[in-house]
Amino acid sequence: MAIILKTPAEIDKMRRSGEALHQVHEAVRPMIVAGASTMDLEKVAAAKMDALHAVSAFKGYHGFPAVLCTSVNSEVVHGIPSAKRILADGDIISIDCGVIVDGFYSDCAVTYAVGTPSPTTKKLLAVTQASLEAAIEQAQVGGRLFDISAVVQEMCEAAGFGVVKEFVGHGIGKSMHEDPQVPNFGAHGKGPRLKAGMVLAIEPMINAGGAGVKVLPDGWTTVTLDGSVSAHFEHTVAITKDGPKVLTR
Ligand code: MG
Ligand code: MG
């Protein structure tokens, strides 16, 4: 499959999708407190999407049952909201969400601490978020795709963390997953040349311990092999002549 370049008008549409998605995240954020269930968060997100006339990109995707992925502690990605999953002080939770507005997808994930995280957890969140920001800075016309990948790997491994290899970022547009795949590991100066009009979902998934992960019997929830906690941050980013534009802030 070829990489689909977007026109400036299409990027404007994707920005509107990204703005709606940002509002969904902002509606969920104050609900992330000890005692809340992950289903409470799902309900707030679904109601906000309805109010914004934004369609969930996740619900029904290969049968996924919810508008949010809520991945707690050692869950890396694709956790399923549940009324039985109650957040406690010291937990972390990744909220991953995608919407469709006017035919265009946007995709964004944030990992939050509930109450007071341990020092290691706090460092994991800070380093993973910083690696996403550094990766976004690499999304420049004339660069190479794996420049993005390499900075994530370097920053996170230098901090002693494990970089998940089984799941990757992706091109995004009129479909949630387009070419190219955007791994969180790779070599500088390699991969496809970056061009104006590419739109990428860049999404480091980083474990406090080893890099290994497995999928639970529910077919979705992915957890670390060693039980260590895992963080996930994601933005939808357009590559333009004027530099990278984050569409989901
Ligand atoms: Mg996502
Ligand atoms: Mg994504």
Distance from Cα 141 to the centre of ligand 1, integer Å: 24
- Which ligand number lies closest to the CA of residue 56? 1
Residue 98 lies in a domain: yes
Check whether 1 has a pLDDT greater than 90: no
Identify whether the C-beta of residue 39 lies closer than 8 Å to the C-beta of residue 83: yes
Residue 152 lies in a domain: yes
Q: Tell me what the mean pLDDT of segment 39-51 comes to.
A: 98
- Which ligand number lies closest to the CA of residue 69? 1
Residue 94 lies in a domain: yes
Cα distance between residue 242 and residue 23, in whole Å: 25
Distance from Cα 109 to the centre of ligand 1, integer Å: 5
Residue 220 lies in a domain: yes
- Which ligand number lies closest to the CA of residue 177? 2
Residue 3 lies in a domain: no
Residue-number span of the structural domain to which 134 is assigned: 8-246
Residue 21 lies in a domain: yes
Distance from Cα 57 to the centre of ligand 1, integer Å: 9
Q: What order of strands is seen across the sheet that includes strand 230-232?
A: 162-163, 205-207, 230-232
Residue 2 lies in a domain: no
pLDDT of residue 249: 94
- Residues in the chain, overall count: 249
Residue 1 lies in a domain: no
Model pTM score: 0.98
The model's pLDDT over 158-191, given as tens digits with 9 standing for 90+, comes to 999 999 999 999 999 999 999 999 999 999 999 9
The model's pLDDT over 103-138, given as tens digits with 9 standing for 90+, comes to 999 999 999 999 999 999 999 999 999 999 999 999
Q: Provide the CATH number for the domain around residue 42.
A: 3.90.230.10
Provide the number of structural domains found in the chain: 1
